[in-house]
């Protein structure tokens, strides 16, 4: 578990609790007693986060919420039994913000196998991913330079696999656009995006091609660096190849 990520969630939840405590202190004593269970449940949720027992994917999902503590509390209140584990409520609340798995079958297969919801959930996530990339680029472009923070902001919301599909799909449908580098075009054309859907134009990033090209290069370098870090932990068995300027995922 990334300690910094867990601490960020705890701090946000704790801020919610402090605000709730301030509301309680403004109430008459008899009214405060009516909120005893809720206050205690909130504290138990904070303890679960503080102890670092939550899976990282749940922590990252809850960070997408504007009020994660309230979200978990609501799910906890809706459980069938008051003795149910608070971690179950955390999981339910986190699922509301989790990216659905990439569905790699076509619509006909989804209908025949009762997986229609999974099919459309994945399609919807592709649309959201394209919008998120576009929004991040627009937010971090100052008129002259594209800030590198645009990449982690998008990757906080969507998996590298989904971002890769959206970027490759966009370039595939704009192969004629000379503002994309030859390296990025070649990379995109080799990518398999057949599972994205029958209407891939719905998942294209609508932003300036020059800016998107920079984003694609950033994304490919980031993934490549991660792979290099992983390989660095394994003793070299052979002479490394010469460095290339081309990026390959």
Based on the domain organization, do 18 and 89 belong to the same domain? yes
Q: Output the average pLDDT for the chain.
A: 86
Secondary structure in 3-state letters for 138-183: HHHECCCCECCCHHHHHHCCCCHHHHHHHHHHHHHCCCCCCCCCHH
DSSP β-bridge partners for residue 141: 146
Residue 246 confidence (pLDDT): 46
In a domain, 144, yes or no: yes
Based on the domain organization, do 176 and 132 belong to the same domain? yes
* Per-residue pLDDT at 239 exceeds 90: no
Distance of CA 148 to the CA centre of its chain: 17
* Per-residue pLDDT at 140 exceeds 90: yes
* Per-residue pLDDT at 243 exceeds 50: no
Find out whether 170 and 189 touch, Cβ atoms under 8 Å: no
pLDDT in tens, 107-127: 899 999 999 999 998 998 999
Q: For residue 233, give the DSSP letter.
A: T
How many domains, in total, are found in the chain? Answer: 2
Q: Which domain holds residue 74?
A: 3-95
In a domain, 108, yes or no: no
In a domain, 204, yes or no: yes
């Amino acid at each position: 578990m990334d300690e910094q990520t867990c601490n960020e969630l705890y701090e946000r939840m704790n801020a919610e609790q402090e605000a709730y405590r301030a509301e309680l202190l403004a109430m008459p004593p008899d009214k405060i007693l009516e909120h005893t269970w809720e206050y205690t449940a909130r504290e138990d949720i904070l303890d679960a986060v503080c102890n670092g027992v939550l899976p990282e994917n749940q922590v990252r999902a809850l960070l997408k919420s504007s009020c994660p503590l309230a979200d978990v509390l609501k799910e906890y209140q809706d459980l069938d039994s008051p003795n149910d584990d608070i971690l179950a409520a955390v999981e339910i609340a986190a699922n509301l913000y989790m990216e659905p798995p990439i569905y790699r079958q076509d619509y006909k297969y989804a209908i025949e196998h009762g997986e229609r919801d999974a099919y459309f959930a994945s399609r919807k996530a592709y649309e959201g991913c394209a919008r998120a990339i576009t929004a991040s680029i627009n937010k971090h472009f100052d008129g002259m330079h594209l800030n590198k923070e645009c990449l982690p902001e998008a990757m906080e919301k969507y998996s590298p696999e989904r971002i890769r599909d959206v970027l490759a799909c966009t370039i595939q449908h704009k192969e004629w656009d000379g503002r994309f580098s030859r390296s990025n075009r070649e990379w995109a054309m080799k990518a398999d995006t057949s599972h994205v859907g029958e209407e891939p134009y719905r998942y294209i990033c609508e932003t300036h091609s020059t800016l998107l090209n920079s984003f694609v290069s950033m994304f490919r370098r980031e993934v490549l660096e991660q792979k290099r870090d992983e390989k660095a932990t394994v003793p070299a068995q052979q002479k490394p190849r010469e460095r290339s300027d081309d990026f390959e995922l």
